[in-house]
Amino acid sequence: MSIIQHPSIERKIKVASKSSPKDEIQTPNNINFIQVFLNYGYYFLLTPFKINKHPVSAEYELGSNWTQKILCASAHSLLLLQSLSETRQQIFKGILLKNIHHPTNTFFAIATLANFSSKFLLIMIFWTREHSFLKIVQFLADNGHLSCIRFRSKLNSKRFLRFFCALLVTAAIINVAIFASTTEKLDPSPFSSDRIFRRIVATARYNFLLASDTRLNSVPTWDDIHPSDWIIGVLAFIGIWFRQLLAFTSDGFILLLAMFIWTLSQSFEQLVSRNCDKNEFLLNFQALKTVSNLIREIMGNCILLYFGEALFYYSVNINDLLKDEEDTERIRSLVFLSIAIMIFRFSGDSCQTVEDSVIGWIRLKFGEIDPGLTSVLMHDATKHVVGLHGSIFVVDYSTILSMVAAMVTYFVVCATSEGRRN
């Protein structure tokens, strides 16, 4: 079976390569899933690098500078401080001071820790795995002649992906506004921007371990605010902004990867429907396996934490989505739930589509391929080697149904236990 080797990134990619037939091939749209997202992260200070195409050769290269790295390091430090403060507040005040042995509190604690761990891990990936992202992009460019790679659709167009990233930014802006509106609902007085700032100062004091509470009764008056509070207040607001932006970006990135693999699976299905020959089939199937494996190497642990958080969070909060008195919090939770459902949908359908396509091709070519190759292909198809992987599992329909069953079970356990968390 022909094996497609992804290009080594150890070589000097800035040196123009000699012209070859693939240089004449138009850049495959599937590169946009990675390149557009990283460029979005670069300009919003979430990623310290971006990926550019060399103006002369067909090679791709990393783009960054020390100013970008310093700004990103500052933004990441502030958002991690904000995230750590929220985690500390939720666990130590909302859980440890209550009945930690109650399943609701235990599940909520696990979900909170998984959320912080996934965000921290994603930041570490942005700082340490930039060459791995480049490897995926260069692999797609080098194999753009394959049908499943050069497939074009609305989902992998730059226009749609830029719109998607714009939605993430818009959602973050709305959530920062929700923070302000939630502050005002605690006080029946007319809307006042100075009270919002004083609430941010209270949050800043808690973040920097200068206070033990962020409730309304701990909000300082103007007489209590010192010049240093202005500095930490601004830093806290920046941390709140990047914390909200990363919350939607991390979930959005996993959704983009799910759509990326789904797009590849759809193109592979179309290839099989044309009754392609053995060589073309094997080349495209191997390309799909390579891309899927490269994504797993980079994001596998982060996807694992995401699904772990979803399992325990929604087990506890399904009822809150229906009965939460705060409309803004309910809308926010429904947005994240919608993203999770779309990830489930794209991931499950990708695995099933590839499996059906491989089995369908084997039936079409029955008698033309040797039994050994048939066994290998059936194994890869049924084990779903092409799909969204969470390190120790693949997100197929079987995994999704198991997760939903576990959520319902945990929800029943929490709902029937005494001493609710609230």
Could you please report the per-residue DSSP string of 42-108? HHTTS-S-EEEE-SSSS-EEEE--HHHHHHHHHHHHHHHHHHHHHHHIIIIITTTTS-TTSHHHHHH
Contacts 24+ apart (CB under 8 A), 179-183: 179/240, 179/244, 181/328, 182/326, 182/328, 182/329
pLDDT winner (highest mean) among 217-226, 232-241, 342-351:
342-351
pLDDT digits (tens, 9 = 90+) for 354-378: 999 999 999 988 878 888 899 999 9
Contacts of 317 (CB under 8 A, 6+ apart): 333
32, part of any domain: no
Least confident of 92-106, 152-166, 236-250, 282-296: 92-106
Confidence of residue 18 (pLDDT cuts 50, 70, 90): very low
pLDDT digits (tens, 9 = 90+) for 368-422: 888 889 999 999 999 999 999 988 899 999 999 999 998 888 888 777 765 444 4
Average pLDDT of 202-227?
72
23, part of any domain: no
Indicate the number of domains in the chain.
1
Give the residue carrying structure tokens 């609902």: 185
Which carries the bigger pLDDT value, residue 25 or residue 224? 224
Is the pTM higher than 0.75? The answer reads yes
pLDDT at 194 over 60: yes
Least confident of 69-78, 84-93, 142-151: 84-93
Range of the domain at 52: 38-416
Whether the Cβ atoms of residue 141 and residue 31 lie closer than 8 Å to each other: yes
Residue 143 DSSP one-character state: T
- The beta strand positions in 96-146, using DSSP E, are none
275, part of any domain: yes
Q: Cα(230)–Cα(187) distance, rounded to whole angstroms?
A: 22
pLDDT at 163 over 90: yes
Which carries the bigger pLDDT value, residue 194 or residue 228? 228
Q: Cα–Cα–Cα angle for 161, 167, 170, nearest 5°?
A: 145
Q: What percentage of the chain exceeds 70 in pLDDT?
A: 81
Report the pLDDT value the prediction gives residue 213, as an integer from 0 to 100.
62
pLDDT at 192 over 50: yes
2, part of any domain: no
pLDDT at 79 over 60: yes
Q: Cα(339)–Cα(345) distance, rounded to whole angstroms?
A: 10
117, part of any domain: yes
Contacts of 411 (CB under 8 A, 6+ apart): 315, 316, 318, 319
Tokens for 209?
Answer: 């371990």
317, part of any domain: yes
Round the average pLDDT of the chain to a whole number and report it.
82
Average pLDDT of 128-137?
94
335, part of any domain: yes
Report the pLDDT value the prediction gives residue 410, as an integer from 0 to 100.
81
26, part of any domain: no
Report the pLDDT value the prediction gives residue 421, as an integer from 0 to 100.
44
Whether the Cβ atoms of residue 263 and residue 352 lie closer than 8 Å to each other: no
Report the pLDDT value the prediction gives residue 321, as an integer from 0 to 100.
67
Report the pLDDT value the prediction gives residue 370, as an integer from 0 to 100.
87
